[in-house]
Amino acid sequence: MSSKKKQHFQSIVKELLQTTSVDKPPIPVERIARLCDAQLRFDPFEGDISGILYHEGGKAIIGVNSLHSATRQRFTIAHEIGHLKLHDKSELYVDRDFRVYRDEHSSRATNKLEIEANKFAAELLMPEEMIRNDWTDHGILLSYDYENDEYIHKLAKRYKVSLQAMIFRLMNLGLIKEQ
């Protein structure tokens, strides 16, 4: 992702966090969705659907698969907020079983909109500045063994994200290396 686009995502997230007076994790994505004039609907979707963003009566509706874990639902909401803030408001977005930064399409870099929504979701749920502050405060080195580390589990719990999401975020920020 270009640094200009990254800065754009960060400025949107910063504005959302300031508007909701959020300065520490976990990020209240449901409150932020409402701030964005989106209504949340939790339904048990069949198949591999994680979330949906559509418009009904001039209002944005974010559908979330109620069968998924709480961390997955939070990522889905953040992902759909990404579509809402970044993409065409008249489109219908149906997101199928995406895996943190990758789904069947985004892992092959064939769906730019999904890649952007995933990266936006990561920034919203785990803002770079907050992550770097937590990481620096803990005095962790780049070569840290994240596979067996209790601290990364604590960070994931603190931010209310999956362990996988936290590991990807730390790797994408260059704080840990893939081993």
The structure's pTM equals 0.86
Asked, for residue 81, whether it belongs to a domain, the answer is yes
Domain count, the chain: 1
11-20, 51-60, 72-81: which has the minimum mean pLDDT?
Answer: 51-60
The single-letter code of the amino acid at 94 is V
Establish if 140 belongs to a structural domain.
no
Tell me the two tokens of residue 124.
């919203």
Higher pLDDT, 135 or 89: 135
Determine the distance from the C-alpha atom of residue 109 to the mean position of all C-alpha atoms in its chain, rounded to a whole number.
Answer: 18
The pLDDT value recorded for residue 97 is 63
pLDDT in tens, 74-118: 999 999 999 999 987 777 778 776 544 334 444 444 589 999 999
120 in Cβ contact with 79 (< 8 Å): yes
> Does residue 61 lie in a domain region?
yes
Domain span holding position 39 = 3-125
Cα–Cα distance for residue pair 172/71, rounded to 1 Å: 19
CATH of the domain at 62: 1.10.10
